[in-house]
């Protein structure tokens, strides 16, 4: 039993509820009690909706036991609070009304956004916003444009890999890609995309305590450890706290534009509601009369 027997204020009757069968979920008697806390009772019918139908009997039993334990604990704490708080301390009418109002208005705003929000953001809109707010997009980390290849130690023609990694010839890039598909353990050949340098360091055993200085003094890196060869061509880099490139911020800018549209849509709705209500005299403000 999970509640001590000497706790006289709580009595729990499980009967056949925890037999390895789901038969106890059938609504046989609405007044069949499985737990009590003071004057509150938990009926077997209250448990019908808490267990997913696809759950096996053993897991169903665990779910039910946990629910009963939680129900008992909650109601014991509520009873204790009721006993020890004053009437004013237990009065949450204003807070509950405010919370309800917030939920209702939020649900309305959410539905308004779902129906009317324009989520299409063009490349021109992204560029315009970025150019006007470029100073807001500062890098928090160092980023790089990089090409790297990781191969097993005894991979053939490593000298060619090194040559291809350094080459800007499209034919060499095609040969490198073909080679990587056959021999490489890992590789990244999209040297037009920006990556976090920290992410690159997770893939390549470069040891440095000063990333900025390292990037300024290294363009091609060839490393070997106990298991693998690493070839890294750093094609470009930007240091943290410098302006982040648009290609790295594109998704971020798009989200900012959409969020601004959400705010504008809600603000416009609120203005229109106030305008219509004023026109129809749906509200009044009563000025307090000055005492003579």
Cα-flanking dihedrals φ and ψ of residue 4, to 5°? -60, 145
Number of domains in the chain: 2
Which pLDDT score, from 0 to 100, does residue 141 have? 95
Which pLDDT score, from 0 to 100, does residue 113 have? 95
31 inside domain: yes
Alpha carbons 283 and 28: distance in angstroms, whole number: 54
CATH classification of the domain holding 196: 3.10.50
Which pLDDT score, from 0 to 100, does residue 74 have? 92
290 pLDDT exceeds 70?
Answer: no
DSSP 6: T
93 inside domain: no
Please give the C-alpha separations between residue 193 and each of 142, 144, 234, 249, in angstroms, as whole numbers: 14, 8, 12, 11
| Domain stops at, among 238, 269, 286 | 238
Q: Considering the chain, what percentage of its residues have pLDDT values greater than 70? A: 88
Written as one string, the DSSP assignment of 183-238 is: H-SEEE--TTSEEEHHHHHHHS----S-HHHHHHH-SEEEEE-SSEEEEEEEEEEE
172 pLDDT exceeds 60?
Answer: yes
Model pTM score = 0.68
Q: How does pLDDT run across 63-97, given as a tens digit for each residue?
A: 899 999 999 999 999 999 888 988 888 888 889 99
3 inside domain: no
Cα-flanking dihedrals φ and ψ of residue 167, to 5°? -75, 150
Indicate whether 147 and 213 sit together in one domain.
Answer: yes
12 pLDDT exceeds 80?
Answer: no
Which pLDDT score, from 0 to 100, does residue 31 have? 59
Alpha carbons 154 and 176: distance in angstroms, whole number: 17
Alpha carbons 161 and 175: distance in angstroms, whole number: 9
73 inside domain: yes
| Domain stops at, among 84, 117, 148 | 84
- In this structure, the dihedral spanned by the alpha carbons of residues 145, 147, 150 and 153, taken in order and rounded to 10 degrees, is -130
Rounded to the nearest integer, the mean pLDDT of the chain is 86
Domain range spanning residue 148? 140-238
Q: How does pLDDT run across 27-72, given as a tens digit for each residue?
A: 343 458 889 999 899 888 888 888 888 888 888 889 899 999 999 9
Task: Give the residues across from 149 on adjacent strands.
Answer: 187, 231
């Amino acid at each position: 039993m999970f509640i001590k027997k000497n706790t006289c204020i709580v009595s729990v009757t499980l009967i056949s509820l925890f037999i390895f069968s789901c038969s106890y979920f059938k609504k046989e008697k609405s007044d069949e009690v499985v737990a009590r806390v003071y004057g509150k009772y938990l009926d077997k019918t209250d448990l019908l909706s808490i267990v997913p139908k696809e759950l096996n009997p053993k897991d169903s039993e665990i779910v039910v036991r946990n629910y009963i334990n939680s129900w008992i604990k909650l109601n014991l704490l509520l009873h204790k609070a009721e006993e020890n708080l004053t009437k004013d301390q237990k009065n949450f009418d204003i807070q509950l009304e405010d919370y309800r109002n917030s939920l209702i208005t939020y649900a309305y705003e959410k539905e308004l956004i779902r129906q009317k929000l324009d989520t299409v953001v063009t490349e021109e809109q992204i560029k315009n916003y970025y150019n006007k707010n470029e100073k807001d997009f500062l890098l928090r980390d160092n980023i790089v444009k990089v090409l790297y290849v990781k191969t097993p130690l005894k991979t053939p023609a490593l000298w060619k890999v090194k040559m291809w990694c350094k080459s800007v010839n499209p034919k060499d890039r095609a040969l490198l890609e073909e080679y990587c598909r056959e021999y490489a353990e890992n590789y990244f050949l999209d040297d037009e995309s920006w990556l976090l340098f920290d992410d690159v360091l997770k893939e390549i055993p470069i040891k440095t305590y000063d990333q900025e200085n390292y990037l300024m003094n290294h363009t091609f890196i060839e490393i070997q450890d106990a298991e693998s060869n690493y070839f890294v061509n750093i094609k470009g880099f930007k240091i943290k706290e410098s302006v982040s490139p648009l290609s790295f911020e594109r998704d971020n800018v798009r989200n900012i534009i959409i969020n601004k549209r959400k705010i504008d849509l809600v603000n416009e709705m609120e203005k229109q509601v106030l305008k219509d209500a004023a026109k129809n005299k749906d509200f009044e403000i009563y000025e307090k009369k000055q005492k003579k």
